[in-house]
Structure 1
């Protein structure tokens, strides 16, 4: 097989801060543009990826606007993660601007595929999407494509985080090699492996050399709760005077995974838009008395340690950056998808006609 990577030109719809794009670029795919309506995504997307950011609502895009980007390579790829607020446990925050029901964006994505007929398509989304009619409607736009999709446990591909996502790959070239199985890793990556080398900071402190390595301050009560928390434990481990009134109620007893610490030698919980808050999940640092920093959250999303999220001198706003980081596609997942697609194209080019089932794994 030819070792040279195929020339694939891609556009990343709903690109956010560039998690999927950065992963695709790492795999050797030439991302020509990213599209998102959130202006706060422009700096991180362009500062870390050699591609322009197009600030647009995808609902307003036309296929003719995207054609020049997709036609710049031998093969074309339309990629994206359409926000699906109705199906997700967590809010998509500011992305609801100017939109009705978010599932319409999935259908818009499908309509662009129908119009543009790219060689390759990939969609990453919440796992719950698979059980809704809109997913079946999206698949109708892929007539003529070989399709593989599954709900992916991201720990299997090297993401140090318990995160399950629907991943779809489709190709007009055939089905040879169209699978993520080659991206499985023999061992699970842990919190310790990802963030333990960062310098220690205290609650409310910002590291002088990395503005993103910052953790919010804690109230006196929450500091007491933090010190009483065990890695992997719950608030049920606390003495009674520390337990919040809402958790003493019958309805609150079913939420044990808040006010908890991560474990060093296990993956983190799902990084959400509120991952910087000790009370929002098991987001306490394993050993330091604070919630994880924004930099640690980004690294658990497999962004490189030096990934730039803010222009120099800009103020760090936890809610904004937490939303951008929590909504991102993990970079490693993007890289796994991109590598699978490049291997697929190379299989096709080499004449491998092996057929695969319609489910990844």
Structure 2
């Protein structure tokens, strides 16, 4: 298991006698992905650099593997270690990319995506880019076990996409029981993408009071009838504006924060095997201790609890975004460090996600065009490009920035092509709400580009009636589905999902 400087575990001089993952892979005669698999299964320890977060390996640990011990074979003999834990492997052949997941019982599940890539070594990032570019939803396992999913505070269903992909990866078939959201355009988008589900346009407070242990109310009984009683997996992304560090008005003292606790009551009603709640990092500082109270309630209901603050760049999302996850499983505690290690990758830049969209712009399509800008903001965008800048000087900013000190350096800024994007918010169409100017073109992002940076695949679409403003909010308010995929896949291969 990884040792993190912020974890409270003590270790001596973590940089002494260590190498990066590529060097470790070269010494062991295997791929970097194989090394990640070994980290996830506990076959080789690693540490994190205290400043940049890079994964480091002690030379002495590598040497110990090379001589072999116990059931671990000498990697110089065969290029692989005995699969005592879950393994991910990727390959490509005849226009298809393949992902093989070897479970602890020895079963291997292989899934595929269309691929036109000519990579020398087809890796996780290649498979995932092919998945993002897929216009048709990849087929799930047929005839396999069906897994019912419920999504509360669902938005457009973007976070549930990752649950689907994780279940597909391990040979399970997702079945969406319901989605609930108070925003009409969001829940219509959910229903559009998950046609088999019940899409409920409702405020959660009209369904349940959130009181754990109470007798079922009439509204709760009505909901359970419409949702088909129970689910196997419950995911939730309660409204987070009250917790967000971008909100300076009601931070950590917003009545909406109490909606987080209602997830525990929904778990009591629906009896899922697995619960996944995501939110912004600031939720842990809520003045009513909503995370702690929710975790305690789920613990009392018989769940094993784990939680983690996750940096999206560390799991392959091309965006500097962090989310806090609270996970509850009836089968056992999820090792989130191991789950994250299995999907770990170096930071992916903006270009990784959108370099194929440079010629897709269409002024006639909302999804493929950017928002319009005022004359003054067009001038600011021109200034960035004419002077080859990524941050707008104070002299070119409005008086509220120009005439007094401020910390909004990224506002009116331009993204970098070779770096991860900033956090994508519902304001990505406005120059005045963040660093949302395209790296190559004199405009802000299109919804399609923002979806890609949010790790949303092309087969996710919007109904015709959803306008630009709603589209932006649905995209920006979502947590990247790579997060739910990472957690669910990790739980499945650890044997604690269902």
Same fold (TM over 0.5): yes
Match of 1:45 in 2: 190
Structure 1 residues 304, 87: closer, same or farther in 2, change over 3 A? same
Structure 1 residues 339, 31: closer, same or farther in 2, change over 3 A? farther
Match of 1:226 in 2: 381
Question: What CA distance in whole angstroms lies between the structure 2 residues aligned with 1:187 and 1:54?
Answer: 39
Structure 1 residues 102, 268: closer, same or farther in 2, change over 3 A? same
After superposition, the CA RMSD in angstroms is 2.6
Q: Greater CA deviation, 46-55 or 224-233?
A: 224-233
Note if 1:287 corresponds to 2:440: yes
Picking from 230, 238, 262, the partner of 1:82 is 238
Match of 2:294 in 1: 138
Question: What CA distance in whole angstroms lies between the structure 1 residues aligned with 2:163 and 2:353?
Answer: 21
Note if 1:119 corresponds to 2:296: no
CA shift for structure 1 position 23: 1.3
Q: Partner of 2:176: helix, strand, or coil?
A: strand
Q: Partner of 1:174: helix, strand, or coil?
A: coil
Q: Partner of 1:142: helix, strand, or coil?
A: helix
| Contact 2:331–2:496 (Cα < 8 Å) also in 1 | no
Question: What CA distance in whole angstroms lies between the structure 2 residues aligned with 1:131 and 1:212?
Answer: 36
Q: Partner of 1:299: helix, strand, or coil?
A: helix
Structure 2 portions without partners, runs of 5+:
1-104, 110-143, 168-173, 209-219, 248-253
CA shift for structure 1 position 181: 2.2
Picking from 296, 299, 313, the partner of 2:452 is 299
Structure 1 residues 19, 224: closer, same or farther in 2, change over 3 A? same
Note if 1:107 corresponds to 2:261: yes
Structure 1 portions without partners, runs of 5+:
92-99, 350-361
Structure 1 residues 125, 232: closer, same or farther in 2, change over 3 A? farther
Question: What CA distance in whole angstroms lies between the structure 2 residues aligned with 1:153 and 1:110?
Answer: 25
CA offsets per residue over residues 70-96 of structure 1, 9 Å max, x none? Answer: 7667xx2221011133212456xxxxx
CA shift for structure 1 position 171: 0.7
Match of 1:340 in 2: 490
CA offsets per residue over residues 119-177 of structure 1, 9 Å max, x none? Answer: 21110011101122111111121123211111110111111111101011111111265
Structure 1 residues 78, 262: closer, same or farther in 2, change over 3 A? same
Match of 2:7 in 1: none
Q: TM-score, normalised by structure 2?
A: 0.60
Match of 2:132 in 1: none
Q: Partner of 2:319: helix, strand, or coil?
A: coil
Q: Greater CA deviation, 11-20 or 105-114?
A: 105-114
| Contact 1:160–1:267 (Cα < 8 Å) also in 2 | yes
Q: Greater CA deviation, 156-165 or 178-187?
A: 178-187
Q: Partner of 2:307: helix, strand, or coil?
A: strand
Match of 2:366 in 1: 211
Structure 1 residues 176, 152: closer, same or farther in 2, change over 3 A? closer
CA shift for structure 1 position 333: 1.7
Q: Greater CA deviation, 280-289 or 292-301?
A: 292-301
Match of 1:272 in 2: 425
CA shift for structure 1 position 330: 1.2
Structure 1 residues 137, 163: closer, same or farther in 2, change over 3 A? same
Structure 1 residues 70, 175: closer, same or farther in 2, change over 3 A? farther
CA offsets per residue over residues 37-96 of structure 1, 9 Å max, x none? Answer: 2111233212222423111211122554347857667xx2221011133212456xxxxx
Q: TM-score, normalised by structure 1?
A: 0.82
CA shift for structure 1 position 223: 2.1
Note if 1:152 corresponds to 2:310: yes
Picking from 176, 201, 210, the partner of 1:31 is 176
Match of 1:261 in 2: 414
Match of 1:181 in 2: 340
Of structures 1 and 2, the one with the larger relative CO (CA 8 A, separation 6+) is 1
